[in-house]
Amino acid sequence: MNASSTVLSRAELRKALEDIVSALKSKNYVHGDLRPNNIMIRKDLSKQPLGLMVVDFDWAGEASKVYYPPGRNPEIKGIKWPGKAGGKIEDGHDWELITSWLRC
């Protein structure tokens, strides 16, 4: 990314999210709720490189050993939840959720 850039491209966002999911996977860890409202991006990219932070680790834990809440809201616009409400959060679910809303 150009150091003077103030706009984050979709390709840069996708790469950053791939890196996050890869880091989680390397530890057999899942987040379970990687929706846009749980991903924070530094607004001013002109002073520092891409700054992306994941928040809200309430559902996170070891893959296949943590569960989605049974009352997960299926009505959130643009979100296609992987797995079942109340079911195990499996390896691959984080990326499946991201690709349901990241169209690039």
**What pLDDT, in 10s, does the model give residues 36-69?**
999 998 766 666 666 788 999 999 999 999 999 9
Handedness of CA 10, 103, 29, 81 (dihedral sign): positive
Confidence of residue 2 (pLDDT cuts 50, 70, 90): very low
Domains of the chain plus CATH, in order, are: 10-101 (1.10.510.10)
**What pLDDT, in 10s, does the model give residues 75-89?**
888 788 999 999 999
**What pLDDT, in 10s, does the model give residues 19-44?**
999 999 999 999 999 999 999 987 66
- Helices 93-101 and 10-26: crossing angle in degrees, nearest 10, is 170
What is the pTM (predicted TM-score) of this model? 0.83
> Going by DSSP bridges, is the β-strand pair 39-41/61-62 parallel, antiparallel, or unpaired?
unpaired
pLDDT above 60: residue 100: yes
